[in-house]
């Protein structure tokens, strides 16, 4: 198997999909609606073979490398496949507050996709197909249902097989585009007399039989267009993932965080991550196998379990500064533990615990730190619980709980408590914002968002960061709901 990112093993599994489009897409949002009545519909075919040839030639030089935006879309879909309930709740909420426009005939919860589905892995050939389709849909054609079969067949897929392609047009953001796509999936199925009939297939992208994907994202004049093409593949299994430097330390991959040049080796196959940090390897064996990832002087090994299901291995790469700081704190803690002063030992362990909670570390250091701080871990968890549970109390009660906890720790972690107090203050501001009228919220939104972004920039603790991120999402949704209510009136 070639080490080149764009020359991974060619997959010959047939792929087919056909999808309708709006004759006049909205300027700012996108949805899919059934096209003209079936008796008047016509299948519009374009010279995709020529288009795909030029696209293949251009992509050969670029090695079909996905962008950060395309990688983020695939990662978002994989998160949804891994936790269908949480993902569908978010999409349902987006539809409810009119963040994405969907009609009763299009959107409905499909419990058939409930449960966990294996992750999707990039296939460079499907990336080429997605880009070809995206390029052709730059100009919509009136009353036409797009036929993707020529592009699929030209790329080695038999259009007689059931697979899936999805579009989103003119979305305000990648997030909205993604939600539009998963609420408006329309595919074609065989019908009588050798014809095809479009049907609604909500949440079909979450079905486990889809194993590989191609994604294309285009943005021009403030709009976002996205195409996802899903295939079944012919390899016994697919491994893939993302290597990234988590700049904002939120534990999630984001655009521009990808790490290029990471060498991934598995079962005799090797590839190097692209600028977005993505990697993918189809394997002909379903045996358990080790996957080695190497970046500069850092190497990790993960074991891919036995089985045919696709597996995802992401690597959140530590920074040298984090490793250096952790080594200093570990050395201080080990020195204190070796002594006989219990108070000094506890203080050193506290510094190690709170000083490394926001750092990105390797497995060995993380395991060693966990062992060292075990004597104070339960006390710290109780303090964290007290802080978080106090947020819904009255201000006086919050201050009392904070004071009691500080005394219990003998002021051993002042910076951590300062960040906890900032969290409590921001929560009070959030409560006032949510209680305000829609008109008042319009004036309060900017300072509220700024306060939340300041907290995200200096969270003090991973638990605090998660709170800030959730609150920011809550503010965005509340504002969208207010706007939706106005437009409905």
Residue 349 pLDDT more than 50?
Answer: yes
Computed over every residue of the chain, the mean pLDDT equals 76
What is the average pLDDT across 1-6? 35
DSSP for 367-399, written as a single string? HHHHHHTHHHHHHHHHHHHHHHHGGGS-HHHHH
Q: Of the given ranges (35-49, 259-273, 469-483), which has the lowest mean pLDDT? A: 35-49
How does residue 135 score in pLDDT terms, banded at 50, 70 and 90? confident
Neighbours of 202 (CB within 10 A): 21
In this predicted structure, what is the pLDDT of residue 193?
Answer: 63
Residue 187 pLDDT more than 60?
Answer: no
* The token pair that represents 42 in the structure block: 């016509």
What is the average pLDDT across 55-81? 77
Instruction: Please give the Cα distance from 212 to 386 (Å, whole number).
Output: 45
Tokens 């309708």 found at: 20
pLDDT (tens digit per residue) in 444-460 = 999 999 999 999 999 99
- Which phi and psi angles does 300 have, rounded to 5°? -130, 155
Q: Which of 215, 54, 3, 208 is nearest to 126 (CA)?
A: 215
Comparison of pLDDT for 125 and 449, the residue scoring more: 449
Residue 157 pLDDT more than 70?
Answer: no
What is the average pLDDT across 55-61? 45
Evaluate the CA torsion angle 96, 102, 103, 105 in order and state its sign.
negative
Comparison of pLDDT for 243 and 46, the residue scoring more: 243
Radius of gyration in angstroms for the set of CA atoms belonging to the chain, rounded to a whole number: 26
Q: Is 404 exposed, middle or buried (0-12, 13-18, 19+ CB in 10 A)?
A: exposed
Residue 84 pLDDT more than 80?
Answer: no
pLDDT (tens digit per residue) in 300-328 = 999 999 998 899 999 999 999 999 999 99
Residue 393 pLDDT more than 50?
Answer: yes
pLDDT (tens digit per residue) in 15-55 = 223 222 222 232 222 323 222 222 222 222 233 343 444 44
* The token pair that represents 449 in the structure block: 């968002």
Confidence (pTM): 0.75
Instruction: Please give the Cα distance from 398 to 426 (Å, whole number).
Output: 13
CB 44 within 8 A of CB 145: yes
Q: Of the given ranges (37-51, 66-80, 242-256, 401-415), which has the lowest mean pLDDT? A: 37-51
In this predicted structure, what is the pLDDT of residue 233?
Answer: 83
Instruction: Please give the Cα distance from 407 to 409 (Å, whole number).
Output: 5
In this predicted structure, what is the pLDDT of residue 405?
Answer: 92
CB 17 within 8 A of CB 164: yes
How does residue 339 score in pLDDT terms, banded at 50, 70 and 90? confident
């Amino acid at each position: 198997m070639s080490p080149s990112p764009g020359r991974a093993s060619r997959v010959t599994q047939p792929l087919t999909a056909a999808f309708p489009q709006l004759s006049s897409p909205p300027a700012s949002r996108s949805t899919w609606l059934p096209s003209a009545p079936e008796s008047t519909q016509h299948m519009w075919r374009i010279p995709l073979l020529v288009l795909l040839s030029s696209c293949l030639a251009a992509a050969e030089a670029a090695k079909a490398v996905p962008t950060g935006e395309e990688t983020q879309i695939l990662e978002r879909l994989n998160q949804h496949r891994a936790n269908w309930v949480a993902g569908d709740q978010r999409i349902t909420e987006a539809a409810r507050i009119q963040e994405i426009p969907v009609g009763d005939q299009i959107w409905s919860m499909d419990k058939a996709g409930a449960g966990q589905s294996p992750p999707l892995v990039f296939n460079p050939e499907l990336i080429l197909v997605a880009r070809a389709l995206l390029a052709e849909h730059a100009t919509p054609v009136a009353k036409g249902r797009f036929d993707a079969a020529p592009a699929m067949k030209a790329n080695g897929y038999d259009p007689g097989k059931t697979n899936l392609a999805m579009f989103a047009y003119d979305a305000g953001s990648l997030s909205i585009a993604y939600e539009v796509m998963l609420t408006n999936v329309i595919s074609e199925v065989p019908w009588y007399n050798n014809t095809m009939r479009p049907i609604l297939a909500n949440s079909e992208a979450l079905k486990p039989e889809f194993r590989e994907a191609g994604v294309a994202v285009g943005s021009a004049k403030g709009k976002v267009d996205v195409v996802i093409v899903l295939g079944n593949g012919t390899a016994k299994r697919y491994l893939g993932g993302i290597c990234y430097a988590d700049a904002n330390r939120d534990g999630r991959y984001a655009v521009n965080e990808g790490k290029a040049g990471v060498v991934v080796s598995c079962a005799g196959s090797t590839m190097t991550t692209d600028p977005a940090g993505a990697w993918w390897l189809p394997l002909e064996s379903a045996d358990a196998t080790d996957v080695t990832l190497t970046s500069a002087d850092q190497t990790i090994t993960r074991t891919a379990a036995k089985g045919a299901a696709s597996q995802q291995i992401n690597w959140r790469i530590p920074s040298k500064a984090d490793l250096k700081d952790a080594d200093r704190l570990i050395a201080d803690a080990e020195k204190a533990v070796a002594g006989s002063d219990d108070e000094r030992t506890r203080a050193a362990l506290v510094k190690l615990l709170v000083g490394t909670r926001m750092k990105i570390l390797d497995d060995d250091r993380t395991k060693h730190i966990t062992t060292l701080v075990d004597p104070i871990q339960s006390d710290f968890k109780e303090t964290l619980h007290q802080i978080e549970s106090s947020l819904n109390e009255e201000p006086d009660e919050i201050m009392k709980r904070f004071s009691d906890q500080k005394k219990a720790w003998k002021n051993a972690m002042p910076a951590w408590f300062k960040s906890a107090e900032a969290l409590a203050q921001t929560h009070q501001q959030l409560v006032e914002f949510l209680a305000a009228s829609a008109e008042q919220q319009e004036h309060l939104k900017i300072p509220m968002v700024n306060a939340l972004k300041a907290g995200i920039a200096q969270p003090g603790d991973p638990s605090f960061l998660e709170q800030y991120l959730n609150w920011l999402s809550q503010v965005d949704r509340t504002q969208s709901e207010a706007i939706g209510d106005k437009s409905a009136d």
